[in-house]
Amino acid sequence: MRKISIFNIALVCLLLANQACKDNFLEEKTDLAAVKEDDVFKDPILARAYVDYVYGLFLPPNNAQTFVATQDASENGGYSNTFTQTTDELAGETDYNKKWNTISYINNHANKYFGQRMSASVGNNVWTRMKEINVFLEKIDQGGIDEATRNQMKGQLYFWRAFQYFQLVRMYGGVPLVLSSQTPVVGNNEENSVQRSSTAECVAQIVKDLDMAKSLLPGKWDAANWGRITSGAAAALKGRVLLTYASPQFNPNDSRDRWQAAYTANLEAKNLLEQNGFGLFQNGGTANGKAWADLFLTEGSANPEAVIVYGFNNLTSTSGAVKNNGWEQVVRPRALSGSGSISPTKQMLDAFPMLDGKSIDDPSSAYSYDKQKFYKNRDPRFSKTFVFNGALFPYGSGSEYRQWTYYWKNKKGAYISTETQGANASGIYLKKGSDPKASGTSNGGAGFQQSGTDFIELRFAEVILNLAESAIGSDKLTEGLAGIIEIRKRAGLEDKDGSYGLSAAVGSRNKLFGAVINERRLEFAYEGKRFYDLRRWKLFETDSPTAQRIGVKPLNGTRRTGLLITVKNSGTEYIGDLDPLLRDSKSGVPVIERQPTSYPAGIANQDEYLDYLYDNYFTIAEKDDLDPTNGAWTFSWYPQYYFFGLNQTILSTSPYLQQTTGWDSMNGAGTFDPLK
């Protein structure tokens, strides 16, 4: 986002925990140090600032790695990419994919997001966020603000309370329902000792809050308030909540009633959003996935797909309220002063189908998959998601910039990379969400720092796939298939079998479940969704019955890998101290120039020449050093993680809380059943 919006406001200092504000945030330069807490709820400007402050508690901070980072992987409100690393999207050891001697509440795999007991100190954590929301909902009707304005404000905070509870419930199952503000703990305060409510009670409360938000909020806002929560956003989150509740994680008996409730909610969300101008982003047409790529860079009413969006600006530390998106910087190579720290896996590359929607190992595909030229005739989203060796990775002053990631051996036998300032781990870069006009530098300094690209937390495409999945769950198989096809058609896939590559799944509930989960893997790759999909469908452990049922390979026992592309010459491995494909001012080109001024006979452009290089000068191998290389490390997920145990950080101060079944605690085995 290039302009300041509600998400770009510097976090205004309101009266939290009875602390008076010492900063000015209004154009009138009002001195809020003199404002009394109750006055906030009498003045619409101050009350709106309070609402905007609550938004800020949930939104990613300045320079966050938005696409792969989530808030509920962190204890104190920060954003972390831990959960993305606990999938097939990114490699690396986390607390949730390594072997443990025992599953215990004292270990870090007992997720700490649950937080700690309320204290007098102010921090951005679960229960502080909840307290600030409850304070507002309790007091806003006591002032003199008109009803319409109050209702819009309340609707937004009912949404955020539901959002917070949903984050908790999908982590732990039932949690304490705290619907009124609590006094910070001084000593042992029994008033704040609230037991865990059942999962069913929590889900009912979340739905109640979202229904309230839906009834109070407008279907759309004016341009100045673009990005505020709408009634459609509340309905869409309700659809996500009930879909999760219908999934095998919460619904092991496959209750059709749960699926039907999810279907009803998602259908309502889709209809409500469409009535207010939301829909799939189609600007520019669907050829080669152009519309799909553009949706991440389009703002305001021109982007109907942004149902819940987190805004950023491109301001600098000297020019105003800075809220930069750190995404551009982390995906760009070090050669351009990026950090190159996001390394997609080969497993994700292989997941993208051929152009006709068939998987790369499906013999019925109209296209023959070529391991040597793995990028040819693929789902158009493939080239919009990844940057591979030789692919275009344009930026502001480099519209024809190509990323080269090949290696060769020098005369001492050591591998040398073309990326002289440091290669990323997997030999693959992430293109999704990058701006081809982003400002960067190749002459040192901090490139791509001031990115204003927004992040869409919930896209209209998710509403469609949520509806498709819940339709499949409630035995509306034709409708479910139609939803998946709608997404594939927009992406630019070809329809050669009448079902955009899904003819083998037609009429089969289990195969369609597998198809919709796979479609989410492609459509929402690197958008922070994969971990939750794997978890709610219980697709981690080797003997997962749901994985077998829907035809998905579990993650346990696997390793995430990358691509190692080396240079050969006349069919043998190239060995030399100079880059074999780059012209040297003294020695010329040792093998062949990677971007020549003229091409061999029969080759018309650089893309055709790239095919020529892959056919004749590149050797492709699997790069298996992304995950730990000490010993026989493989991905290890434990069934207890489907409902995390409470960590000792909360149990030590809140012994009245029941521990989750399958976990131990200081008082013995856990007794709280998250399925009730």
| Domain spans in the chain, listed from the N-terminal domain onward | 1-62+98-217+648-676, 220-325+452-537
Residue 16 has pLDDT above 50, yes or no: no
**Is the separation of the CB atoms in 329 and 449 below 8 Å?**
yes
Predicted pLDDT of residue 113: 92
Residue 1 has pLDDT above 80, yes or no: no
Environment class of residue 57 by beta-carbon count within 10 Å: exposed (0-12), middle (13-18) or buried (19+)? middle
Predicted confidence band of residue 188 (pLDDT cuts 50, 70, 90) = low
Class of domain 1-62+98-217+648-676 (CATH, top level): mainly alpha
pLDDT > 70 in the chain, percent: 90
Predicted confidence band of residue 354 (pLDDT cuts 50, 70, 90) = very high
Residue 5 has pLDDT above 90, yes or no: no
Predicted pLDDT of residue 665: 84
Do 1-62+98-217+648-676 and 220-325+452-537 show the same overall fold? yes
Q: What is the mean pLDDT of the chain?
A: 90
Q: Under CATH, which architecture does the 220-325+452-537 domain have? A: Alpha Horseshoe (1.25)
Q: What does the alpha-carbon distance between residue 505 and residue 511 come to, in Å, rounded to a whole number? A: 5
* For residues 187-204, average pLDDT: 83
Predicted pLDDT of residue 240: 98
How far apart are the two ends of the chain, measured CA to CA in Å?
43
Number of CB atoms found within 10 A of residue 198's CB:
16
Residue 14 has pLDDT above 60, yes or no: no
* pTM of the predicted protein model: 0.93
Q: What does the alpha-carbon distance between residue 486 and residue 508 come to, in Å, rounded to a whole number? A: 19
Backbone CA torsion sign across 535, 540, 546, 551: positive
Predicted pLDDT of residue 286: 65
More confident residue, 399 or 631: 399
Poorest-pLDDT segment among 307-311, 356-360, 449-453, 604-608? 449-453
Residue 349 has pLDDT above 60, yes or no: yes
* For residues 554-566, average pLDDT: 97
Poorest-pLDDT segment among 54-68, 380-394, 442-456? 442-456
Structure tokens at 71: 């808030």
Residue 261 has pLDDT above 80, yes or no: yes
